[in-house]
A and B are shown apart, each in its own frame.
Chain A
Amino acid sequence: MSRIVRTGADFLYPAILIFGLYIVAHGHLTPGGGFQGGAVIATGGALVIVAYSYTEVSEWLSGKVLMGQEVIGLVGFIGVALLAFAFGQVFFFNYLNASGSLFGIPVPYGINAGELNTGGFVPLMNFSVGCEVWGGLTLVILYMLSGIRREES
């Protein structure tokens, strides 16, 4: 693409990244969550991959890195859920909620201002799902663009 598109992508990508990470991090307070935030970041990745050509992107962005990111997200999701057994609870029990440790501030019933350090293991789940969706959707776009390039040649 032209220099204008590349410069625009350079300026837009950090903003998209910050917005997506904001959606992921505030998934337990505001509308959004891991899937939505990951999809937002993946659109930023699609912008970069389209603005720069596939051959240029594939030099510094390997599909293996994205696949590893996706695997880390999925394994982290299952691992956080499995950690409930260590606390003597059932699978997917919210063991961190109101425990006083990380993300452990208790939340009262009713309208309140919202605190980022709440939610138990829900923010951890959001982060792992966001990581997985980010890697997965960017990987799909990368692979499809590699297929288009192969058809042209």
Chain B
Amino acid sequence: MKKTVVLIGSLLILSAFLGVMALTLTFGAPKMTDMDDYFLRFGQEQTGTNNQCTSVTFDFRGFDTLGESTVLFCAVIGVSLIFRKMQAGEEYENE
């Protein structure tokens, strides 16, 4: 009984939130388009790429991609740390 009340209440709150967002926000008409216009106008000449997504991710915002690569590298390091080879006689602590 209590679970259903909580479920219905949370669903109502979520639907009200989404409904207000859908009614008040204007889609397809952003307020600030200066950055987009600049990328679309000068992206081809300044980066030489026809694919504007790549021109943004690899050239205009290359630092973002550098951080992304570092995150992937750290993730792989973490996985290799978890699944490392155990030494002879070494055991997991909490087993």
- Asked if B48 contacts A70 (CB within 8 A), the reply is no
- Asked if A140 contacts B49 (CB within 8 A), the reply is no
Given A28-B54, A106-B48, A143-B69 contact (CB < 8 Å): no
- Asked if A97 contacts B48 (CB within 8 A), the reply is yes
Those of A99-153 within 8 Å (CB) of chain B = 103-110, 112, 114, 118-120, 122, 125-126, 129, 132-133, 136, 139-140, 143-144, 146-147
Residues on B with beta carbons closer than 8 Å to the beta carbon of A81: 62, 66
Which A residue sits closest to B85, measured CB to CB? A146
Residues on A with beta carbons closer than 8 Å to the beta carbon of B75: 136, 140
Which B residue sits closest to A96, measured CB to CB? B48
Q: How far is the CA of A133 from the CA of B75 in the complex (A)?
A: 11
Min C-beta distance of A152 to chain B, whole Å: 14
Binary B-proximity of A47-69 (CB < 8 A = 1, otherwise 0): 00000000000000001000100
Which residue of the partner chain, among A63, A70, A125, contacts B73 with CB atoms under 8 Å? A70
Which residue of the partner chain, among B45, B59, B66, B70, contacts A122 with CB atoms under 8 Å? B59
- Asked if B47 contacts A30 (CB within 8 A), the reply is no
Residues on A with beta carbons closer than 8 Å to the beta carbon of B68: 35
Q: How many residues of A contact B (CB 8 A)?
A: 46
* In the complex, number of A-B residue pairs with CB atoms less than 8 Å apart: 117
Residues on B with beta carbons closer than 8 Å to the beta carbon of A114: 50
- Asked if A31 contacts B59 (CB within 8 A), the reply is no
Min C-beta distance of A87 to chain B, whole Å: 15
Q: How far is the CA of A70 from the CA of B46 in the complex (A)?
A: 29
Q: How far is the CA of A147 from the CA of B39 in the complex (A)?
A: 46
Which residue of the partner chain, among A34, A78, A120, A147, contacts B59 with CB atoms under 8 Å? A120
Given A98-B48, A132-B72, A122-B83 contact (CB < 8 Å): no
Chain B contacts to A: CB under 8 angstroms = 41-42, 44-51, 53-55, 57-59, 62-63, 65-66, 68-70, 72-73, 75-76, 79-80, 82-83
Chain A contacts to B: CB under 8 angstroms = 27-31, 33-35, 63, 67, 70, 73-74, 77-78, 81, 92, 94, 97-98, 103-110, 112, 114, 118-120, 122, 125-126, 129, 132-133, 136, 139-140, 143-144, 146-147
